[in-house]
Amino acid sequence: MEDTAIVTTINLPNSLTSPEADSAVLEVTGGASLSGQVAVSGAKNSALVVMAGALLSGQPCRIRNIPHLVDIERMGEVLAALGVGLQRQGDSLEIDARSIAHTQAPYDLVSRLRASFFVIGPLLARMGEARIPLPGGCAIGARPVELHVRGLQAMGANVHIDHGTVHACVPGRRSRLQGAKIYLDYPSVGATETLMMAATLAEGETIIENAAQEPEVTDLANFCRSMGARIQGAGTNTIAIAGVPSLHSTDFGIIPDRIEAGTFLVAGAMTRSEISLCPVIPEHLTALIAKLQEVGGQVLVEGPNRLRYVPGATLNPVDLQTGPFPGFPTDMQAQFMALMAVAQGSSIITETVFENRLGHVAELNRMGADIRINGSCAIIKGVPRLSGAPVLATDLRASAALVLAGLAAEGTTLIQGLHHLDRGYENLEGKLQQLGAQLARKPGV
């Protein structure tokens, strides 16, 4: 790969990073039917961890299909704080981690982006030490990191937590982590990714059992393999990594975002509209597609990377519970609940991944939904129609659920808390407008 000038910021449109983004309101006028094709962006969760993974290589890497999102900007800031060079051109990002000046990530950055904790694995593997603040909880749960820590300890790292920061180092004169057999109590996506990255440069073989099988884990494995890592079994519950002394440069494209694609499929169902999506990897959406078909719509696979949603005559209620991949994704739970709020009957949605991910229920109820919470279950009685109201987005996927509810509601919905939306959806308004939706961002008061 060509060497490039090093800059330490990624440029996002001002509208995403300005303080106005926090106070702005999204005005959604319900009732429009949608049609046309949506271009799905690169997967946020994959891009974030692949950016962290670029720390493993002593040569510059190019990553393509990076979405323009606040979370990506924040991960860029974390890498820049470590002394890594970044240069963005359109959807491409060059990361030059030939030299890593610091092994400590600043608290104010990590606290704003939980995924930035995942740099602990590659930093420790490459530099022999890492000091990363605990990311803390967030709106959807406490989100501890003990599975990451225990796995790194099993690989020979000394890890202790002091004043809210995780200090990890490879002890003694050994410069490399040691391969280990690691069983995860829960198939955590982040822990699987942290440990897989750390193991690529370890001495000997690491086996991760009960590993997460999410497509983003497989994408990260493919990225690492493209740099020379030896990884087998990603996408299954057992991943084997044979450590190598160093990794080289790569030019790698991120997979399409299955959650963004899923959100548009649900938009089609809620507005009873025919929508097609491209690019998309249908196998990443199997659980959602099955549920949408139970609801009464058809999801047609039109070629290897294109899906079409065709609405049915009814919106049947369906029960579901979220779970690790290939189960129903927790990141689609809020959007699917918005759909069930207008289904013809009652349904139960059970959240099993995060302990506090039902913040959207109160907001959907403000729009006329009839949803009761019982522990981790939401009992939803479908209503004939929602009505527009002022609402507050409580987290990223909750914000998408409110947009979907607004599209199907009678009247106007005013959504506050758009900084959540901007974390994870690239140009959602523009893409929906292209399909014929009526929505616009208004400055806050």
Report the catalytic residues.
Answer: 138
User: Applying CB under 6 A, which part among 188-196, 289-297, 364-372, 402-410 lies near ligand UD1?
Assistant: 188-196
Task: Print the binding letters for residues 28-47 with ligand UD1: x by CB under 6 A, - otherwise.
Answer: -----------------x--
By C-beta, is 28 or 404 nearer to ligand UD1?
404
Residue 163 carries which side chain, given as an amino acid letter?
H
By C-beta, is 30 or 215 nearer to ligand UD1?
215
By C-beta, is 55 or 353 nearer to ligand UD1?
353
By C-beta, is 166 or 339 nearer to ligand UD1?
166
In angstroms, give the least distance from the CB of 239 to ligand UD1: 15
**Closest chain position to ligand UD1 (CB):** 190
In angstroms, give the least distance from the CB of 146 to ligand UD1: 5
By C-beta, is 32 or 265 nearer to ligand UD1?
265
Task: Print the binding letters for residues 333-372 with ligand UD1: x by CB under 6 A, - otherwise.
Answer: --------------------xx------------------
Residue partners of 82: CB distance under 8 A and separation at least 6: 55, 97, 100, 101, 102, 103, 105, 119, 123
74 binds ligand UD1 (CB under 6 A): no
70 binds ligand UD1 (CB under 6 A): no
188 binds ligand UD1 (CB under 6 A): yes
Q: How far is CA 259 from CA 7, 17, 264, in A?
A: 31, 23, 9
Task: Print the binding letters for residues 193-232 with ligand UD1: x by CB under 6 A, - otherwise.
Answer: -------------------x---x----------------
In angstroms, give the least distance from the CB of 191 to ligand UD1: 5
User: Applying CB under 6 A, which part among 54-62, 85-93, 97-105, 146-154 lies near ligand UD1?
Assistant: 146-154
User: Applying CB under 6 A, which part among 82-90, 141-149, 277-285, 336-344 lies near ligand UD1?
Assistant: 141-149
331 binds ligand UD1 (CB under 6 A): yes
* 3-state per-residue secondary structure call for the chain: CCCCCCECCCCCCHHHHCCHHHHCEEEEECCCCCEEEEECCECHHHHHHHHHHHHHECCCEEEECCCCCHHHHHHHHHHHHCCCEEEEECCEEEEECCCCCCCECCHHHHCCCHHHHHHHHHHHHHHCEEEEECCCCECCECCCCHHHHHHHHHCCCEEEEECCEEEEECCCCCCCCECCEEECCCCCHHHHHHHHHHHHCCECEEEEECCCCCHHHHHHHHHHHHCCCEEECECECEEEEECCCCECCCEEECCECHHHHHHHHHHHHHCCCEEEEECCCHHHHHHHHHHHHHHCCEEEECCCCCEEEECCCCCCCCCEEECCCCCECHHHHHHHHHHHCCCCCEEEEECCCCCCCCCHHHHHHHCCCEEEEECCEEEEECCCCCECCEEECCCHHHHHHHHHHHHHCECEEEEECHHHHHHHCCCHHHHHHHCCCEEEEECCC
- Of 251, 261, 281, which is closest to residue 64 (Cα–Cα)? 251
Residue 241 β-bridge partners? 206, 231
Q: How far is CA 305 from CA 193, 276, 285, in A?
A: 26, 11, 12
Number of residues that bind ligand UD1 (CB under 6 A): 21
Single out the residue of 25, 34, 48, 339 in contact with ligand UD1 (rule: CB under 6 A): 48
By C-beta, is 37 or 376 nearer to ligand UD1?
376
User: Applying CB under 6 A, which part among 98-106, 137-145, 366-374, 380-388 lies near ligand UD1?
Assistant: 137-145
Single out the residue of 20, 22, 108, 146 in contact with ligand UD1 (rule: CB under 6 A): 146
186 binds ligand UD1 (CB under 6 A): yes
In angstroms, give the least distance from the CB of 113 to ligand UD1: 9
Q: Specify the length of the chain in residues.
A: 445
Single out the residue of 189, 220, 266, 338 in contact with ligand UD1 (rule: CB under 6 A): 189
Single out the residue of 82, 115, 120, 369 in contact with ligand UD1 (rule: CB under 6 A): 115
Single out the residue of 87, 218, 222, 330 in contact with ligand UD1 (rule: CB under 6 A): 330
Name the site residues for ligand UD1 (rule: CB under 6 A): 45, 48, 115, 141, 143-148, 186, 188-191, 212, 216, 330-331, 353-354
